[in-house]
Amino acid sequence: GTKCPSGCRMQGLIDETDQDYSHRIDKIKKLLLENQNNYKKSNRIIVETINVIKPDLDSAQHVDETYNHVSGELRQRIVTLKQRVVTQLNRIKALQSSIQEQVVEMKRLEVDIDIKIRACKGSCGRSFDYQVDKESYDNIQKQLTQANSINLHPELQTTTLSTLKMRPLKDLNVPEHFKQKLLPEMQALNIINNIRQMQAVLERAETDTNPSRGDSMYH
């Protein structure tokens, strides 16, 4: 047959190149196998981790819902208590005003009686040595003045309680490549998407021009 012009050099180069590519392919196959094993191991760990934390996530969500319910009841009870306190404070103020009027009226009556007795020329004028106890009335008036000066927390009538509300958390700016459909073996991660993400918002009354929002809590 026809011999190679370069003898066996060309065939040797071909064999050497073929062997080099074979080694590269074997190395790639080995890396693919290692990565596949690592992927399976990572997936198994992820599934095991999700199975471990799932009860805690469910429990945390239940706790948050309970906290929201209890905080709402507590706020309502505080509002009711404030209303009762304000009612009692108004009664105290009304009683103070009534006592003040009664003391003034009693003093006026005693002064009127004293004047009439002194003006009497008959037996009543000689039988009674009547004197108005002005010092006693002055002491009572002083005590009433001190009582009226006590601050009965008028801010209770103007301050309002904030309201804790749980709202669904709006979509976050998640990169698109994180929104791709999961592989069949990664379906366990769907549990994360099935958990409702809520945000705790602290709102002031509508009369407040600057609503205050507290720290947000995510589930």
Q: Number of structural domains, the chain?
A: 1
- pLDDT at 32 (0 to 100): 95
Q: Is residue 213 part of a domain?
A: no
Give a yes or no: residue 27 inside a domain.
Answer: yes
d(CA 163, CA 204): 6
Q: How many Å apart are CA 105 and CA 7, to the nearest integer?
A: 141
* 173 is a domain residue: yes
- The DSSP 8-state label assigned to residue 3 in this structure reads P
Q: What is the CATH number of the domain that holds 138?
A: 1.20.5.50
Is 218 domain-assigned? no
Asked whether residue 140 is domain-assigned, the answer is yes
Q: What is the CA radius of gyration of the chain?
A: 45
Considering Cα of 153, then 154, then 156, then 160, what sign does the dihedral take? Answer: negative
Residue 131 lies in a domain: yes
The verdict on residue 1 lying in a domain is no
What is the 3-class SS of 168-195, one letter each residue?
ECCCCCCCHHHCCCCCHHHHHHHHHHHC
Task: Please indicate, yes or no, whether the overall pTM of this predicted structure exceeds 0.75.
Answer: no
Residue 57: CB atoms within 10 Å? 15
Q: What is the pLDDT along the chain (219 residues), one digit of tens a residue?
A: 455 555 566 777 788 888 999 999 999 999 999 999 998 898 888 888 888 888 887 888 788 888 888 888 888 898 888 888 888 888 988 898 899 899 889 888 888 887 887 777 666 656 666 677 788 888 888 888 888 887 776 666 566 777 777 777 765 565 665 555 555 656 666 666 666 777 777 777 654 444 444 444 444
Q: What is the pLDDT of residue 14?
A: 80
Confirm whether 2 is domain-assigned: no
- Write down the pLDDT at residue 68: 81
Instruction: Find all residues with CB under 8 Å of 188, minimum gap 6, and list them.
Output: 46, 47, 50, 51
- Cβ neighbours around 63 below 10 Å, total: 11
User: Taking a C-beta distance cutoff of 8 angstroms, is the pair 191, 53 a contact?
Assistant: no
Q: Show the domain range for 195.
A: 9-203
What angle separates helix 134-149 from helix 9-119, to the nearest 10 degrees? 170
Sign of CA dihedral 116, 118, 121, 123: positive
